[in-house]
Amino acid sequence: MIVKLNDHASPAAKSAILETLARQDYSTRRVSLPFGDFIVGLGDGAGDTTALAALEGVAWARRGAERAVLAGIDASTSRTEVPLGRTSIGGAALAVIAGPCSVEDRDQISTCARFVAAYGATALRGGAFKPRSSPYAFQGLGHEALEMLAEAGKNTGLPVVTEVMEPGEVEPMAPLVDCFQIGARSMQNFPLLREVGRAGKPVLLKRGPSSTMKEFLLSAEYVLLEGNPHVILCERGIKTFETATRNTLDLNAVPVLKAQTHLPVVVDPSHGTGRRDAVIPMARAAVAAGADGLIVEVHPDPARALSDGDQSLTLAQFRTLVEEIRPVAEAVGRRVEATPVPNFGEPRSSGRRRGTGWGAGD
Ligand code: PEP
Ligand code: MN
């Protein structure tokens, strides 16, 4: 049960609401969000909204068991903008989060960061803890990778987004992370959702490969219930019968979610397709559909990537992506804020030799 308080609900009115919820067999919690103060009844209570709505200080009372209420479109009178670095996600400017699937070494992440920053990224992504289907596959460099990612972010001025897989890692990771990514496979790891909710940092929540939009929003609700409104929903493709692509990017999710929630929605055309050649077209389509931003995998030498090379853009292709989404954004009343640095140099497209690093020049 979710009770929204009026702006000037008195302490006596709040006590009466708490007592009424307790009488209906709920345990209670106060939740304060930028768009309102709420008293929430948790558990299997009586569900009598009429008794609650009649109380002084109550704007409305809704049952929450079946749907996301705090994340719901009418919980807030305005769309939530999630602050991230110098920009925010959910306003007129599109977020462009770019970087490798995994942080592989200092040279790889710093090169990637320099180029994506110069070409127009607004945030840097990179995995340190990787959820791999096979336990034998590269699992990420862990804390060492986080340090490298944070350093690359600091040197380029880009905030960093990285996946957290375990509730116990949230606190140790927090000082090095600007936004916690919850991976698709973890979308329904409820203890993890609560923990990132409490950390108070922005959360990029990926849609589970077999999750409905309703389940997706209910997962976001877990984070909001901890008093953290800064959730970015990410459509990253769902499982279908199709095998030509790794997943089926469900662009329906963009308008449908936006009709149901005030939270920003971004799209991941990399995991959504699994194919480099489909990433830029689907990025353009996502922007046209009204996405608030993109998260894309970029690697200085995709052929040698330790994870997700087939879907990673080269540095030069990332520059093309930014150029190509710009007119699409303008056509739908949005903008790509960052201006690529002119003559930044061409990345070496491939053929990294050990020890020589990647760089501009040829
Ligand atoms: C990733 O972003 O590298 C990743 C593992 O994504 P997802 O959880 O969407 O598969
Ligand atoms: Mn990946």
123 domain residue, yes or no: yes
Which H or E run includes 36?
strand 36-42
Work out which ligand 1 atom sits closest to the CA atom of 127: 3
Q: What is the pLDDT of residues 89-141, one digit of tens each?
A: 999 999 999 999 999 999 999 999 999 999 999 999 999 999 999 999 999 99
Task: Give 350 or 13, the one with higher predicted confidence.
Answer: 13
User: Do residues 145 and 42 share a domain?
Assistant: no
User: Do residues 47 and 86 share a domain?
Assistant: no
Residue 341 clears pLDDT 90, i.e. is over it: no
Q: Which of 197, 158, 193 is nearest to 178 (CA)?
A: 158
153 domain residue, yes or no: yes
Tokens 């919820």, located at residue:
21
- Domains of the chain: total: 2
User: Do residues 59 and 171 share a domain?
Assistant: no
Q: What is the pLDDT of residue 361?
A: 33
Q: What is the pLDDT of residues 24-50, one digit of tens each?
A: 999 999 999 999 999 999 999 999 999
User: Do residues 130 and 57 share a domain?
Assistant: no
Tokens 């340090």, located at residue:
147
| Phi, psi of 87, rounded to the nearest 5 degrees | -120, -170
Instruction: Provide the token pair at 5.
Output: 């308080």
362 domain residue, yes or no: no
76 domain residue, yes or no: no
User: Do residues 229 and 325 share a domain?
Assistant: yes
Work out which ligand 1 atom sits closest to the CA atom of 206: 9
User: Do residues 62 and 94 share a domain?
Assistant: no
Q: Would you say 156 and 117 are in contact if contact means Cβ atoms under 8 Å apart? A: yes
Q: Is the CB of 206 under 6 A from ligand 1?
A: yes
pTM (two decimals): 0.95
Q: Is the CB of 72 under 6 A from ligand 1?
A: no
User: Do residues 137 and 184 share a domain?
Assistant: yes
Ligand 1 centroid distance, CA of 290 (Å): 22
Q: Would you say 154 and 110 are in contact if contact means Cβ atoms under 8 Å apart? A: no
73 domain residue, yes or no: no
Which H or E run includes 181?
strand 179-182
Q: What is the pLDDT of residue 355?
A: 44
Residue 354 clears pLDDT 90, i.e. is over it: no
Q: Is the CB of 101 under 6 A from ligand 1?
A: yes
Listing DSSP states for 47-58 in one string gives --HHHHHTSTTE
- Gap between the Cα atoms of 40 and 3, Å rounded: 6
CATH code assigned at 60: 3.30.70
118 domain residue, yes or no: yes
User: Do residues 230 and 155 share a domain?
Assistant: yes
- Gap between the Cα atoms of 338 and 96, Å rounded: 9
User: Do residues 55 and 91 share a domain?
Assistant: no
User: Do residues 45 and 111 share a domain?
Assistant: no
Q: Would you say 301 and 347 are in contact if contact means Cβ atoms under 8 Å apart? A: no
Q: CA 163 → CA 94, 160, 177, distances in Å? A: 21, 10, 9
* Sign of the dihedral defined by the CA atoms of residues 73, 195, 190, 135, in that order: positive
Tokens 């462009």, located at residue:
96
CA dihedral 283, 187, 69, 227 (to 10 degrees): -100
Q: What is the pLDDT of residues 54-84, one digit of tens each?
A: 999 999 999 988 899 999 999 999 999 999 9
Domain that residue 22 falls in: 2-66
Q: Is the CB of 258 under 6 A from ligand 1?
A: no
180 domain residue, yes or no: yes
User: Do residues 231 and 183 share a domain?
Assistant: yes
User: Do residues 58 and 119 share a domain?
Assistant: no
DSSP classification of residue 61 = E
197 domain residue, yes or no: yes
CATH code assigned at 137: 3.20.20.70
Residue nearest to atom 2 of ligand 1 (CA): 101
Q: What is the pLDDT of residue 10?
A: 97
Residue nearest to atom 6 of ligand 1 (CA): 183
Ligand 2 centroid distance, CA of 167 (Å): 21
Q: What is the pLDDT of residue 357?
A: 52
